[in-house]
Every structure is written in structure tokens, then in C-alpha cells.
Structure 1
Amino acid sequence: MYPNIVKVRNDDKPLYFAESESKKFKLREGSEASWISSEGFSEKELREHIEPWLTSLFQSEHLSLLAGSGLTHAVHYLAAGKKAAGMERLPLTTCQDKINAAAEVSANQAGRKTGNVEDQLRVANELLRGLEILQDDEAATLRGELEAGMQTFAESILKSEAGIATAPDTQREQAFNTLVTFLMSFASRIGTRDRLSIFTTNYDRLIEAGAELAGVHLLDRFLGNLMPIFRSSRLDLDMHYNPPGIRGEPRYLEGVARFTKLHGSVDWVQTGKDIRRIGLSFGAETVDPYLKAPGLGEVTAHKLMIYPNAAKDRETADYPYVELFRDLASAVCRPNSTLVTYGYSFGDEHINRVIRDMLTIPSTHLVVISFDDPLKRIMETYKQIGRPSQISMLIGPALADLATLTENYLPKAAIDKATFRMSELLKQRFATQKSTPKAKDQADEDGSDQL
């Protein structure tokens, strides 16, 4: 089992620990901390060490969440008892060996051991453009294979959604309740703070489904209702309300977040010069019927916007990805900004570059939460950046399991005003008890003696 790693607050280096036979946690050799006794420590001590720190970071002036594939796998495991469907390679016949070889080189340059379907699709699309320029007869064959491959790829994403949607009622409800609690820990920002910015590298609509259940309004670049269209103009649209009896002083509407899907989405299609979002049902069996709607013209699965380049920056320089990554950089590269990653393996160098630039600002902070580190990229990036005081880490099943994380370590939603009122009342009563007449007389005597 992958070791648990914690580094928060005044921990000067990552602490490695594992669960002992006595159901307590014990540090591994070479790790030591002042807040841990030699006999070991419990989940309660971990919570007391972690939760207040995360609570303070979550109330930074600017807060962003970057969700990777680990979030989808975590929710799918809660609902169906297994991980979500993976991204298998496509069975191409045209220049298959050369495409696979180029995909492996691309993956190695990105620090990944083997290429995935994204590398394969990117290389195949580059080859298709070359064959079309050469007017080669194989171009038509490769284009047909890519259309079928993209549809298979989209159906694998929908299969993961369906695995959650069709799970037994009790397990599905628990999974979505955990997801809602997770999102609300971030989205419940007080009115004087900037809106939460949510970024994801996932193609599925899990975050959208969770936000819908939580009543969170997501603001993205799409405008319209029937078939929303992607707009490059980034107007800082927001939602406000007028309190009863007060005019001219609108206040922030609670439960609103900005949302950006960095790698596109299974329901985004290119229609001519525009990017539109189609009404694809959550967990649908196939995407094909939804592409036959009037107004989409001759759109095929090859026009789905779910294959940006995750190894080099050529694709991200093209529309619409340049707009999406500009949103990421402008959101996190600001003073007093906190970025929290969950289930992100640090396998995308173009995102890592933005994170490194963010940490050059002394008042920024990075919180890494991950169930494991399969690519070893998290610890490598931590060492390469060289700013340990600006990085916190919660890695391992004892910390980053979604249910455990939401129950023990993430802060309670700040939108709960009753909690604030109760804490203020306790402070007032506690201060009153300390200022009893007897204590006041003693203080007066002490003051007379000093005179």
C-alpha cells in the first residue's frame, strides 16, 4: 500500500507514516515531528493538526481547486465499488506502429512511462493533417478510424458517468453526498472573498452533476440556454441579490463558483468556427444521437473537443484552449492565492508551469491532496520547485480517501452562519467569566502593588 505523507503548518519536511497493528498511526524511520509522541498518534491528532490549517488557507483572498481524474475514480469507487473506466488505446490500422512509437516518445518527454489515448490521438491528428496536405489516399481511411475512435473514447467517458448514475440507490446517494460535501467545503466563501475558481482536467460532467445537487451556480465561458456557445470575451459576470429593505447595495449570492474545463468536455463540439455545448445526458449510452440535432450540420464524433495535447503546448496555443489556460494563470498567479489540487498527478507540464510561476509569489500557497503518487511526479515536482514553506501535502489513503477527507480534514462549509454566531457567543461568555468581580478586585490589587 502507498505510504501516507503529511506536510502542513510548521512541518519542515514531509512526514511518512503508516497504520500500526494497534489501529494507530506511526511515523516511519527518518520522520519526526514535535506534535507526535513516540507511541504513535490517532486520527483525532491528525485532524487537530490539519483541519485548522486548511480552514485558514480556504479563506485566502483567492481560492482555486484543480481536480484531476482521481476525483472521478474516488466518487465512482464510492458508488460502484470499483474505479472508473480507463482510457484504452485506439485500434488504428493506418501507420499504427509509427503512431504508437511517436506517442511513447511524447509520453516520455512529459515524464510518463507509457503513452495514453490522448498521446495517440494527438499524434494521429497530426499525421492526418500531413496526409491531407499530401493528398494521400490513406487520409480518408485514417479520418474514418479517428471518428470511430473518438466515439469509442467518448463512450468510455460516458460509461464512467453511467457507472455512478446506475449504482444502487444507497451507494449512489452516499457517493453524491460525499461529492457535495467536498465541493461545498470549497464553494462556501464569505462575501468579502473572491469567488472560488474550479478547474478540472476531466472530460466527464461529474463536477457539474455535484454542483447541481449542491445548488452551486457554475459560471463558465458558455452563454445561452438551448445550445450554449463558447465566448472568448471574459466578462467577469457574477450573481448578486438585493437584501429586503436595502436599495443600491447588492450582495454576493452565496454558492457561486467559476468553472473551467482545461481539457475540454465530452459534450463540447466544434460547429464551423464555434464551440458549442450539446444537451448530452449524464451517463448516456452513446454520443451519436445527440450529434444529429438540427443546427450541428455534418458534425461527427471527431469534432468532440476532448483531446487537447497534454504533453506539449502546441494544442493549448489553439482555440479554445488558449482561453482556458489563460483563465488558470490569471486565477492562481495572484498575491494571497491558494491552489488546492485533488487527484491530480502532476503529469501535465503546461499546468505544472503555471503552478511553478504561481509559487514565485511569496504569499501564494499550494495544497496537494492525492490518494497516491503513481507517476512519482508529485514528490519530484515538490523537490524541483524548492519552496517547501509554500507547499502543503496530504497524500495516501489515510488522508486523501474522499470520504475520510470530507469527514475529518476539510473545513466545514463557512456558509453556516450559526457556527459563527455560536463561536462569537462562546467568546463573549468566556470573556465574561474571566472578568468576574473577584478577578477584577485581584487585578486592582495587583495594580496598586505595582504602583
Structure 2
Amino acid sequence: MNEKEIKAVLKNGGNVIKTRDDRKLIVIDQDGKILNTEDCSWCLDDENSVVNNNVFRSRIEPWLTSLFQSEHLSILCGSGITNAISFLARGNTGTTMDETTFSSYQDEIKFASQESAKASGREKGNIEDQIRVANDLLRGLKILQENDKATKLEQDLNSIISNFANSILNSENGIAASEEDKRENAYRVLVNFLLSFASRTGNKERLNIFTTNYDRLIEVGAELAGIHLMDRFVGTMMPIFRSSRLNLDIHYNPPGIRGEPRYLEGVARLTKLHGSVDWVQNGGEIRRIGLPFGANSIAPYLQAPGLYGADVLQLMIYPNSAKDRETAEYPYVELFRDFAASICRPNSTLVTYGYGFADEHINRVIYDMLTIPSTHLVIISYDDPIGRILKFYSESAHKAQMSILMGRNLGDITNLTNDYLPKSAIDRATIRMAELLQHRMGATSSLDKQATATQVPIIADVPTSEE
């Protein structure tokens, strides 16, 4: 099936899956019928049978459990995770990236942002493109000493960025202030989602969490889950962004044991690739301010001693997603270096959730990762609204290193946490149970053969020394 046909199936509530030994995308309509049976090696024998959650689970959960045990595990979250949790909490999605209106140079800014979007492979520009173009124009006006025009454009930018920041906070507030039952359910799903990835034993490398979102949903979920997040910020009152990335970690000393510290479980590293609504440029430094989750406005929290009269123009929420200008500047160069260093190494697995592959500077790093044969990419998404996911897959020469889970069923965060992701616990008990069952089955099988030869009845369950 071609991309257009697959997009139509997704739009109508169907699903697309590629896991394990699948060589092509398996397309399944909203009724559970496989549409390209010739490409499916695990098609059901009965033509009237439908693919349900049990079939999906048998294909997905063991596969993801295996991949999550990779030496290096990373997850990249896009706006889809915020939209999913917002929908669970209040019935609608979070912040949109739609274009805004400037009172001056509107046509010029709109044209330039459209050209920027086309250069990135997107059909239309968004507010990020407009803010970046307006910033470039503002610098140009100041160089030309067009002070009156520069002042007016700067006022426009200040107002637009303030509204955009407040819309991010409104999205957070919509979750935090929703009905208690819905809010608790949304938080529970978020916690289980994060724990499925972060529940790695202490002898494995830490989970790396990357996000393109400006909100603090992942931080709130980690706090509720008891996950310790480590990032580049150092300090307590007003943490400062540090370029030096030492291999800091969290250890503990087991009772009665001296000199043998062990890694604390439930620790992850967080990198916000596009900045955050609570990051402020303060002189030559980047500070994280104490902005509550879902605050009504950001302005009061900028009026603090030591911020040197910072306003919303100093918020670090507007990287350039079309060219590399912003990512070559502080602090984005350090953030993208962390991203490349974390995923572009052998035995690495990257999982994307809710990321639409609209940022070329991120896609290039993922392309480079796939050139390493032992790496694997898992793409999980509710849909493909701009067609960039299917385009990324079709243009890749490394399809064998990619798993795809897309659709109304497979991309739903509730279904993921309930049925498809590994259980959110360190799996020693399950591993131990499997070993016991294997020993028992082996012992029973051996006694079965002996009983057959001697015609002596045997006991079905024979205890072993492992019990």
C-alpha cells in the first residue's frame, strides 16, 4: 500500500504495525481486518478473524520488553504526549502551534515563515517559524538603526511570546485543575508510561528522556512516579545551566556494606531540546525560575531580584526548526550534542512517542543513528497528520532497524500502558518465575519420558532445588 492509502486508513481509525520479523508495514482497518495479507507472516488462519488487543499484545509486548533491555535506551517525546494527557484530563488537546498575527510586517513575516516551513518539508509555517523570522527582522532593523520600527516590532514580539508562554501554562493548568477523577486517571497513565521506560536495573545505563515540548508535563510525571531527573541545571533556588556535563549519578550504600556504593534505581536524564517555558536568559547565563505548574501568568515570576529586569523576550522557548542557526547557539548546541551522543552509539534503542518528525535537525541525528547496525528505532504515534512519519520511513534505507506502532489503538497512551508497554516494574520477579517454570517443565518432560518407558505414573508438579 502507498502512503496515501495508509494515511486514509489511519484517518479512519485504523492501525499500522511493524515489529519483530515484519518486513513491511502491516495495515489494519478500524474493524481489525488486515488489508495487505500478502505482506503479513503472522496472518490469522481464519479469514473472518479480526486482530484484537490480544493479538497486538502478543506481537508487541515481548518485542518491546526485549528492546527496552538494550544497553542504551532513550525516548523522544513530542507534542503528542501533552495532547494525549490533556485529552484524558479535560477532553481536548494542549497548546497549538498555529500562526499568529503581527501588527507590523505581517505579510513579510508570514511569507518568510512559509518559506522556512517549506525548507523543512512542512506544508505551512507555525508560531515558532514566525517568532524566529521576527527575531531576525528585529536584529536587522536595529542594524539599520530603524529605531521606531524596531521598537514597534519588539513590542509585538513581547506580546506574542507572552501570549504563547501563557498558552503553554494554560495547557498545564487545564491538566492540573481538571476534575479530580479525570486528573488522577491522566496522572496514573502518565506515571505508568514513564515507569515502563525508567524501570531499569541500576547496572544498566540510565534512561535518556528527550522532549521538544516547552511544558513541564514530563517533570510532573517523574515527580509523581518518584523518578529522579538529572539535567544540566545546577543549584536549588534558581538553578543555572552548565555546559560541563560531568557523569553525575545517584548512588547509595547498602546496609552493612562498606565501600561498595550501588546505583540508585529509578533515575533518568532529561534534555529539553527546544528549551522550556521556565528557562530565562539572564545576562550570559540560562536560569530556571520557580514557575509553578499551570501558573496563570509568567510575568510575576520574572519580577525577581537578580533577573536584571528580564521580560518574555528572554524566555528560551523559540529554537529554529528549519535551519541550524539556533542549534549552533547557546544553550542549544549542548542540548543537541547530548542528543547525538546518547543515541548514536552501538546497542542503542530510541523510542519516539508523539513526535511528528517535523524537525529536520533532529531527524538528521536519527538518520545517523540508524547507520549503526546494532541500533533500533521504535516509532509510536496516534496518527501522522503532516505525513512526515511515513515519509521518514519510506525514505530510510534501514527499515529492518525500525518498528512502527501507529493508529487509534496502538498509539493511544492508555492502551500502551495497559497492554503493550513492558510492565512498570523492575522485572526480576518475572525473570525468576520464567526460570522456575523452565526448570519445572524440563523436569516434568524428563519424568514423562521415564514414565512412558516404565509405565509408572508420575506427579505433575515436581519440586526442584530452586524452590
Range into which the TM-score falls when normalised by the shorter chain: over 0.9
| TM-score, normalised by the number of residues in structure 1 | 0.95
Cα distance in 2 for residues equivalent to 1:423 and 1:388: 32
Residue of structure 2 in register with 1:398 after alignment: 409
Deviations along 1:83-140, whole A, 9 cap, x unmatched? 1131333331121110010000001111111110000000000000001111102111
| Secondary structure at 1:70 match in 2 | helix
The 1:31–1:397 alpha-carbon spacing in structure 2 relative to 1, beyond 3 Å, is farther
Match of 1:26 among 24, 29, 33: 33
Match of 1:115 among 125, 145, 164: 125
Cα distance in 2 for residues equivalent to 1:328 and 1:59: 19
Match of 1:320 among 326, 331, 334: 331
Task: Verify: 1:59 aligned to 2:66, yes or no.
Answer: no
Residue of structure 2 in register with 1:253 after alignment: 264
Shift of 1:242: 1.1
Shift of 1:9: 0.3
Task: Verify: 1:8 aligned to 2:15, yes or no.
Answer: no
Q: Which amino acid aligns with 2:173?
A: A
Q: Which amino acid aligns with 1:78?
A: L
Q: Which amino acid aligns with 1:397?
A: R
| Secondary structure at 1:197 match in 2 | strand
Cα distance in 1 for residues equivalent to 2:134 and 2:399: 40
Preserved CA contact (<8 Å) 1:15 1:31: no
Preserved CA contact (<8 Å) 2:340 2:365: yes
| TM-score, normalised by the number of residues in structure 2 | 0.91
Cα distance in 2 for residues equivalent to 1:282 and 1:79: 15
Preserved CA contact (<8 Å) 2:165 2:277: yes
Cα distance in 2 for residues equivalent to 1:358 and 1:91: 39
Residue of structure 2 in register with 1:72 after alignment: 82
Match of 1:368 among 376, 379, 401: 379
Residue of structure 1 in register with 2:224 after alignment: 213
Note the residue ranges of structure 1 that are not aligned, 5 or more in a row.
Answer: 444-451
Cα distance in 1 for residues equivalent to 2:33 and 2:99: 41
Residue of structure 2 in register with 1:419 after alignment: 430
Match of 1:167 among 174, 178, 186: 178
Residue of structure 2 in register with 1:181 after alignment: 192
Any residues of structure 2 matched to 1:14-413 within 5 Å, and which?
14-20=25-31, 25-29=32-36, 32-37=39-44, 38-39=47-48, 40-136=50-146, 137-413=148-424
Cα distance in 2 for residues equivalent to 1:438 and 1:69: 58
Cα distance in 1 for residues equivalent to 2:269 and 2:36: 43
Preserved CA contact (<8 Å) 2:37 2:43: no
- After superposition, the CA RMSD in angstroms is 1.5
Shift of 1:190: 1.8
| Secondary structure at 2:133 match in 1 | helix
**Mean alpha-carbon deviation: is it higher for 238-247 or for 361-370?**
238-247
Preserved CA contact (<8 Å) 1:67 1:201: yes
Cα distance in 2 for residues equivalent to 1:325 and 1:315: 11
Note the residue ranges of structure 2 that are not aligned, 5 or more in a row.
Answer: 1-11, 455-467
Shift of 1:150: 0.9
Cα distance in 1 for residues equivalent to 2:428 and 2:68: 16
Preserved CA contact (<8 Å) 1:269 1:304: yes
Shift of 1:395: 0.6
The 1:437–1:74 alpha-carbon spacing in structure 2 relative to 1, beyond 3 Å, is closer
Residue of structure 2 in register with 1:446 after alignment: none
Q: Which amino acid aligns with 1:17?
A: I
Preserved CA contact (<8 Å) 1:196 1:257: yes
| Secondary structure at 1:173 match in 2 | helix
Cα distance in 1 for residues equivalent to 2:451 and 2:256: 44
Deviations along 1:38-82, whole A, 9 cap, x unmatched? 333221011101110100000000000000000000000001011
Q: Which amino acid aligns with 1:28?
A: L
Shift of 1:31: 5.1
Cα distance in 2 for residues equivalent to 1:96 and 1:212: 42
The 1:341–1:31 alpha-carbon spacing in structure 2 relative to 1, beyond 3 Å, is farther
Preserved CA contact (<8 Å) 2:14 2:30: no
Q: Percent identity of the aligned residues?
A: 59
Shift of 1:438: 5.9
Preserved CA contact (<8 Å) 1:69 1:344: yes
Preserved CA contact (<8 Å) 1:87 1:156: no
Cα distance in 1 for residues equivalent to 2:297 and 2:38: 50
The 1:36–1:438 alpha-carbon spacing in structure 2 relative to 1, beyond 3 Å, is closer
| Secondary structure at 1:213 match in 2 | helix
